[in-house]
């Protein structure tokens, strides 16, 4: 895909959303990860657009990802919720995975909070626990900014010293702890997937400094930071990673546990709308 065609697709997606919802100007957006479809925060006058209807949006194919864009208001703010995401391992290009975030930024987005299911590489981070991401290591084999640059996207070489906004991270951690949810701060290691990692890979990733491992997040947050959007990320532990005691690698189990943590996350996201 040529850069001009890509930029035109972003504009078309944003224009379609604005035509459907003329007052769409999201102050904050959430991306809900695997198993978290029920974590949509309470919104006034929610309006829903199916991803399949939005030009340029990829098709969501992974179980547990509803494939809907929900827009509404809460605590005096305009809120967008992506109920499900796209993944590099589905065969989508990195730029396609980033397209919805770029379209929302074109509509005025300033703050993005990403959620994801992760495997824990540390014994203290147990299934059901949450981790606020402090940094990440990209082992996906590609950078989402590669080969696609327009001046409207931001600088070609964005600074990644502080990908995850410190103030947002403090707010997320405080919101979890206020609700009595076990929450940690840690480093996310991103892999391409879709196979789960081997024990040897997890051993190597731990040595590199990773705390949790997953197959998303990076293709969304790096373009968001390039565009100047403040980013926070909250991951929930669906399983212990390969080679660790209690390790189970099964997507059905991810979805089942996601149903149980969705209510907690829904409350946290509501608190964050108010706080940001």
Of the residues 88, 90, 134, 183, only one is catalytic, namely 90
Answer for the pair 84, 32: CB distance below 8 angstroms, yes or no. yes
**Cβ-count burial 61-93 (b if 16+ within 10 Å, e if not):** ebebbbbbbbbbebbeebbbbbbbbbbbebebb
Q: Assess whether 34 carries a catalytic annotation.
A: yes
188 among known catalytic residues: no
- CB of 143 within 8 A of CB of 89? no
Phi, psi for residue 130 in degrees, rounded to 5:
-110, 150
Measured distance CA(15)–CA(95) in Å, rounded: 19
The one catalytic residue in 117, 183, 241, 262 is: 117
Distance CA 146, CA 206 (A): 27
Active-site residue, from 82, 215, 233, 262: 215
> Annotated catalytic, 251?
yes
Distance (Å, whole) CA 194 – CA 63: 13
- Residue 17 CB neighbours (<10 A): 25
Catalytic position from the list 239, 241, 242, 262: 239
Query: Active-site residue among 66, 174, 185, 251?
Result: 251
Reading the block at residue 77, the tokens are: 């703010």
Residue of 78, 96, 169, 216 marked active site: 216
Cβ atoms of 79 and 52 closer than 8 Å: no
Of 6, 7, 13, 34, which residue is the catalytic one? Answer: 34
Residues present in the chain in total = 276
Is 1 annotated in the active site?
no
Is 88 one of the catalytic residues?
no
Task: Establish whether 129 is a catalytic residue.
Answer: no
Task: Please work out, in degrees rounded to the nearest 5, the angle formed at the alpha carbon of residue 149 by the alpha carbons of 97 and 67.
Answer: 15
Integer Cα distance of 229 and 246 in angstroms: 38
Which among 89, 138, 204, 275 is annotated as catalytic? Answer: 89
Q: Catalytic pick from 13, 14, 37, 87?
A: 87
- From 13, 51, 65, 233, the catalytic residue: 65
117 is catalytic: yes
Cα four-point dihedral sign 47, 16, 219, 52: positive
Active site residues: 34, 65, 87, 89-90, 117, 215-216, 239, 251
């Amino acid at each position: 895909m040529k850069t001009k065609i890509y930029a035109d697709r972003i504009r078309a997606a944003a224009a379609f959303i604005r035509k459907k919802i003329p007052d769409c100007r999201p102050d904050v957006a959430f991306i809900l990860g695997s198993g978290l479809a029920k974590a949509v925060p309470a919104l006034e006058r929610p309006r829903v657009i199916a991803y399949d209807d939005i030009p340029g949006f990829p098709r969501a194919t992974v179980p547990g990802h509803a494939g809907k864009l929900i827009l509404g208001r809460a605590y005096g703010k305009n809120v967008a919720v992506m109920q499900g995401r796209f993944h590099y391992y589905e065969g989508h290009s990195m730029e396609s995975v980033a397209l919805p975030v770029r379209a929302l930024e074109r509509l005025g987005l300033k703050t993005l909070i990403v959620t994801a299911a992760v495997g824990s590489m540390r014994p203290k981070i147990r299934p059901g626990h949450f981790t606020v991401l402090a940094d990440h290591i990209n082992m996906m084999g590609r950078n989402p900014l590669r080969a696609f640059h327009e001046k409207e996207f931001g600088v070609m070489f964005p600074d990644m010293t502080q990908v995850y906004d410190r103030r947002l991270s403090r707010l997320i951690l405080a919101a979890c702890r206020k609700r009595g949810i076990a929450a940690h701060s840690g480093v996310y290691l991103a892999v391409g997937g879709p196979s789960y990692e081997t024990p040897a890979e997890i051993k190597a990733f731990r040595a590199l400094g990773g705390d949790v491992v997953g197959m998303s997040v990076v293709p969304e947050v790096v373009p968001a930071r390039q565009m100047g959007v403040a980013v926070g990320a909250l991951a929930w532990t669906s399983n212990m990673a390969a080679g660790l005691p209690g390790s189970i690698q099964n997507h059905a189990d991810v979805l089942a546990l996601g149903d149980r943590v969705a209510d907690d996350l829904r409350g946290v996201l509501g608190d964050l709308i108010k706080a940001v």
